[in-house]
Chain A
Amino acid sequence: MSTASEIEACLPIRSDMDLVWVRQHVRQAAALLGFGLVDQTKLVTAASELARNTLVHGGGGQMDVAPVTAGFGRGLRLTFSDSGPGIADLDRALSDGYTSGDGLGMGLGGARRLVHEFEVESTEGAGTTVRVTSWVNRPPRVREEG
């Protein structure tokens, strides 16, 4: 059985080097919790997208990692937070292809598709927090979007 101490973490997101640590930590934590290879890959990819948003759009911030349990088993919760400009229009930000910079505009909406639970809290001028959770051995959630 894995220990929570190896999974719990607070990682800074201040450079592209930090993005590498974020991916490596999420990979290890997911493996320790028993996520299969495909689910690990989905979670690491979602984390990479969200951490890059924290860095590029949010001006830097952090990722908090916590193991979670519920009636149906174990999971991993990742919280990305920054005190950047915030997201004025969340629906637009989530739509595929929208970017305010020079990205592909697939990160936020794509990350939402790759995890089981996805929440965004954002205040204009004050920052953004994105919290995602995925559960071990749980089928993908039902899509509510088109």
Chain B
Amino acid sequence: MYPRPGAGHVPVLRLGDILLVTLQGDLYDSTAQQLQQDLSETIVSAGVTGVVIDISGVEIVDSFLGRVLAEIAAQASLLAARTVVAGMRPAVAITLVELGLTLPGLRTALDTQAAMALLEQPVVLSHAGGTRRERA
């Protein structure tokens, strides 16, 4: 969607009511910011109810990209769409904790399939059976 030589890009795919956003490679700050702006418009114009952001191809998440992800989720939520970040690499998760970014409010799943499954569940939160408990 935003190709520029030498750096990452961000294909966005619509699957029914869900937008699948794939972050690939090393993104320019401006690319991440542009994505954040464009996604809000896409959520409204496409009428989607869920956004899955696949970061399995992302080698590092610093506080800038972390904030962009959190803000995308917050904006989507105001537009009645839920966001799940999928596929964070273990090394990235370990580093984020040490960096001090816990990103509360960001739902995560191990891969895009699990993220899709999460979004297909009813919005009402339940502590029963297979549903994951929300952290405070």
Contacts and interface: CB of A to CB of B under 8 A. Distances in A.
Interface of A: 16-17, 19-20, 23-24, 27, 37-38, 40-42, 44-45, 48-49, 52, 96, 103-104, 106-107, 109-111, 113-114
Interface of B: 6-7, 26, 28-30, 59-64, 66-67, 89-92, 94-95, 98-101
B29 A110 contact: no
A27 B59 CA distance: 10
A145 to B, nearest CB: 11
B46 to A, nearest CB: 28
A52 B98 contact: no
A41 B95 contact: yes
B63 A103 contact: yes
B63 A114 contact: no
A97 B59 CA distance: 24
Contact of A107 (B6, B28, B62): B62
Given A17-B7, A19-B29, A24-B26, A48 B60 contact: yes
